A and B are shown apart, each in its own frame.
Chain A
Amino acid sequence: MIWEEMLRRRVEERCGDPGEAFAPYGYRFGKWLDADPATRADRDVVQVRDAVAGYLGGAVREGRLVGTVVGVGLGTAGALIVFLLVWAVA
C-alpha cells in the first residue's frame, strides 16, 4: 500500500541508513552479532545492543506518530459521519 511505502521512507529519513548509522561501531557491531545472548554481555556488546534498540525505537516512535495523525484524521471524519448518520436517522 502507498501509505506503508511512505511510512518506510519516513523511517529511513528519520533514522538514517543502517549502514551509515552503525558503521561507526566498527568491530563492536560484529562482536554483538557473535555474542551469545545467554551469557553476560560486555560493554561493547551492550553499546551496540542499545544503539540497535535506539534505532528501532526511532522507527516505533515514527510509526506511532504517523498512525496517530492518520488515526485522528480518520477518527474525526468517522465520528462526524456517524454523528450525522445518527442525527439523520433519529
Chain B
Amino acid sequence: MADDDAPLMIDLAGPQGRALLRVRPPESLLSKPVEFEVPPLSGNAAADQLVAISTQVIFTTAANERDGWLEWHVKIYRCATVGDADTLRQHLHRQAGALQHVNNFLPGQRGMAFKPPWAVVPVQVVRGDGRPEELAGAVTTRLGVPSDQIVAQLRRHLPPWLGDKTQPDCVLLAVSPRIDPMNWEADHHGDPHPATENLSMFETLAAGLDLLHQQEWAHCDIKPDNVCRYTYFPENLPPMSEYALIDTDAATRTTPPPRALRSSELYDYRALRDLRLGRVAGPPRAGHLYAQDRFGLMLMVLCALAGREWVEQLALAPDATDPAGGRIADDEEKMLRALAALWPDPRWEPLVRALAEPFGTGPGGSLALERQDPWAAEWLQRLVRAEAECTEVRTPVEPSPVRTPEAPPVAVRAVDRVRQETRAHPAGKPQLVRRAYEVIDEVAGDLAESQARLAMWLWGGGLTGAGLLIALNAFVIGR
C-alpha cells in the first residue's frame, strides 16, 4: 500500500494554463446512489437505446494550487464494473464537451475551463486509474500524486479513504469550479417593485442555454440550488457579475430522450409533471426537455425579481381553485394576476405581461418553449425591453426627480460623492443599491443644510448690514 498521507492530486492542463487540484478527504464517506441512463459505448448496436448505470457518488472539494479558479467541487463515481465505468466516462465526457462548447461560443466572450465567464460551470472528467483523459483537444486531465512522491505514484492513485477494495478502473471523478450557493430570498421583503437590476445578469446564462439546446443537450434541473452568481474581473473593464448553471449531472442528450428525468419535481415543466403524475402516458419528448430548461429559467428570473419564497409558495404551489391540481405557474392568466398582485403599480404592466406570456399554451407559451429553436436569449431581451418601457413610463414627474440637466452645479458635483461613498466597501449588488439610497438621502440632507446655511448667512448678514448702513447714514454720517 502507498503512504496513507499521500494526497490525491488532479492535474488539468489546457491551452490557457494548468490547474493542480489537491483533493481534500470528504467530510463524510457515505455515498449517494445515483442512476444514469446513458447511450451505450460507441460502436455498440442499438445506439438509440439507453443503458442504465448505477453508481455510488462521494462528494468532496479541492483547492487549486496553480492557474485559475481557486476552489473546486469533486464528485467521485464508483461503478460496479469496468464496462459501466467506460460507458459512464463516455457519457460524462460528451456532457463535459457540450458544456465546454457552450462556454467557448458565448456571444462576445469566451469562457475557459478554469476561468469565467461561464454560462454553465465547466466540468472535467478524470479517470480513476491514472490514465490521461483528453477533452476534445482542449483539456487533458490526469489523476496522480505529486511528482516528488514517485513511489506512491507508482503504487496507487486512489487515496486510502476510498477504501482498499475500490478498483481504480471502476472509479471516475468529475471536477468543476465551486461557486457559493445563493439563498434566492427576496432581498427586500414587501418591496412593491421587482428587483430588475438582476435581469441583465441572466444574459450569459440565457445565451448559453440556447447554445446547449442547439447541440441537442438539455440541463433538465434548473432550480435555485443549481444557479449561482459569480463575479469576475475582465481586463480593463469593471468587475462583471453573472449567473451560471452548476450541477450538470442531470444534463442529458435530447435525442433520444431518457425514459425518466433526474429533475427536482417542484420545478418540473407542466408536461413532465403530468407524465410523472401519470396524467399522460408515454416517454418524454425532446421538446419537453427544452421546455423544462426554459421553464426553469423563467422561474429563476422570477426568483431573482420576486424571491424564491414567492415562486415556491405561490407560483409553484397547487392552485386550490383548480380541480385538476394545476399550479399557478401552469397558466398564463393566473400568473398575470399573481404578478399584478405582487407588483400592483400598473406601470409595471409591460414587464408583467412579458414575464407571464411563456407560462401559457399559446404561440408565446408552450409552443415556443418546446421548439429547439433558440428562445432564451431573445426572451430575456424582451424582458429587458419591457422593463425599459416600464421605467420610461414610471420615471417620476412630480415631485420626484426628473431628468434635469439644469440641476445646480453643486448637485451635479455631489453625484460622484454618492457613487464613491456607496462603493467604499465591497458588497453584493442589492446591498450596494440599498447603500446608494442611504447615501443619496444623506447627501441630499447635507446639501440642503449647507445651502440653507449659506442662504441664511447671505440674507441675514446682508440685511443686517444694510440696516446698519442705513442707520449710520441717517444718524451718524448724515448728521
Contacts and interface: CB of A to CB of B under 8 A. Distances in A.
Interface of A: 4, 7-8, 10-12, 14-37, 47, 49-68, 70-72, 74-76, 78-83, 85-87, 90
A23 B453 CA distance: 31
Contacts, number: 238
Contact of A11 (B444, B453, B463, B466): B444
A67 to B, nearest CB: 3
Given A14-B399, A53-B412, A71 B197 contact: no
B475 A86 contact: yes
Instruction: Label chain A's interface by main secondary structure.
Output: helix
Interface residues of B, number: 77
Contacts of B414: 53, 56
Given A22-B437, A33-B429, A60-B447, 6 more contacts: A15-B399, A15-B401, A24-B395, A54-B404, A59-B411, A64-B451
Contacts of A32: 419
Instruction: Label chain B's interface by main secondary structure.
Output: helix
B455 A68 contact: yes
A39 B347 CA distance: 33
B418 interface: yes
A83 B399 CA distance: 42
A17 B418 CA distance: 15
Contacts of A90: 471, 475-476, 479
A18 B429 CA distance: 17
Contacts of B429: 30, 33
Contacts of B198: 27
15 contacts: A12-B441, A19-B437, A25-B395, A27-B198, A34-B239, A37-B416, A53-B411, A56-B414, A68-B456, A72-B459, A76-B463, A79-B464, A82-B471, A87-B471, A90-B476
Contact of B408 (A19, A34, A57): A57
